[in-house]
Amino acid sequence: MKNSFPIALILLLAFSIWSCEQPKSPDFQVNNQFEVPLTMEKTYPFLGADEALIDTTSEDFENIFDTDEDGLVSVVKEQSFNFGDLNNAIPVVNVPSIEVVNLTVPPTAGSHTVTANGSSSIDNSAFEFWDANHFVGMNGGELTVGITNDTDVSIDLEVTFPEVQDPNGSSLAITIDNILPGESISNAVSLADHRIYAGTDNAIDFEITVSTNSSSAQGGDISTEIGFESLGISRAEGYIVPKNVLLNADATGDGELDIFNDNEAEITNIDGISEISDHISNIAFSNPILGTLYNSNLGVNTTIYAVIAGTKSNGEPVYLKGNENSDKQVTSSEIPDALTVNGEPATADQVIKFSLDAVEDPSPSEGEEGSNEFNANNANTPAFFSNLPTSIRFVGVARINEQQVEGTIVNPVIFDPSLGVEIPFNFSADNATYQDTVDADLSDLPEEDEDRKLSEAAITINYTNGLPLDLTLNVRMLDANGNEITSKNDIAVNGASTDEDGFASDGAQSEHEISFSESEMSDLHRTRFMVLDITINTPQQESVSIRENDAVSFKVRVRAGITSTIN
Distance CA 512, CA 494 (A): 12
Whole-number mean pLDDT of the chain?
85
**Average pLDDT score over residue span 380-403:** 88
CA distance 158 to 173: 7
Closest CA to 536 of 447, 450, 431, 389: 431
**Confidence tier at 285 by pLDDT (50, 70, 90):** confident
Given the DSSP bridges, would you call strands 54-55 and 65-67 parallel, antiparallel or unpaired? Answer: unpaired
Domains of the chain in sequence order: 29-66+429-566 (2.60.120), 75-89+242-424 (2.60.120.1260), 98-237 (2.60.120)
N residues, the chain: 567
pLDDT at 372 over 60: yes
* Stretch 28-49: mean pLDDT: 65
- Look at residue 475 in the predicted model and tell me its pLDDT: 93
Confidence at 99, pLDDT banded by 50, 70, 90: confident
Please compute the mean of the pLDDT values over residues 145-165 and round it to a whole number. 94
Could you write out the DSSP letters of every residue in 224-262?
Answer: EEEEEEEEEEEEEEEEEPPEEEESS--TTSSS-EETT-T
Instruction: Answer with the residue of higher pLDDT: 563 or 398.
Output: 398
pTM: 0.72
Task: Give the Cβ contact number of residue 157 at 10 Å.
Answer: 22
Distance from C-alpha of 537 to C-alpha of 284, rounded to nearest angstrom: 11
Query: Is pLDDT above 90 for 68?
Result: no
Residue 379 pLDDT exceeds 80: yes
In the predicted structure, residue 436 carries a pLDDT above the cut 50: yes
Residue 96 has pLDDT above 70, yes or no: yes
Say if residues 222 and 155 touch (Cβ distance below 8 Å): yes
Residue 114 half-sphere exposure toward CB, CA atoms < 13 A: 16
Percent of the chain at pLDDT > 70 equals 83
> What mean pLDDT comes out for the span 393-416?
95
At residue 101, the pLDDT reads 63
- The predicted-structure confidence for 175-214, as pLDDT tens digits, reads as follows 999 999 999 999 999 999 999 999 999 999 999 999 998 8
Cα distance between residue 304 and residue 322, in whole Å: 13
Q: Give the three-class secondary structure for 478.
A: strand
Q: Does position 468 have pLDDT exceeding 90, yes or no?
A: no
Q: Is the pLDDT of residue 25 over 70?
A: no
> For residues 468 and 495, what is the distance between their CA atoms, to the nearest angstrom?
5
Alpha-carbon gap, residue 445 to 46, rounded angstroms: 35
Give residue 14's pLDDT: 38
Summarised one tens digit per residue, pLDDT across range 44-60 is 887 766 667 666 666 55
If 0-12 CB within 10 Å is exposed, 13-18 middle and 19+ buried, where does residue 323 land? middle
Among 185, 204, 183, 184, which Cα is nearest to 195's? 204
Q: What are phi and psi of 332, to 5 degrees?
A: -60, -35
Residue-wise DSSP of 400-432: ETTT--EEEEESSPPEEEEEEEEEESEEEEEEE
- C-alpha angle 128/133/138, rounded to 5°? 65
Q: By mean pLDDT, which of 4-18, 141-155, 306-320, 517-531 is the weakest?
A: 4-18
Name residues whose C-beta falls within 8 Å of residue 235's C-beta, 6 or more positions apart in sequence: 135, 136, 137, 364, 408, 409, 410, 411
Q: What's the confidence (pLDDT) of residue 51?
A: 67
pLDDT at 126: 94
Pair 558, 38: CB distance under 8 Å:
yes
Is the pLDDT score of 440 beyond 80? yes
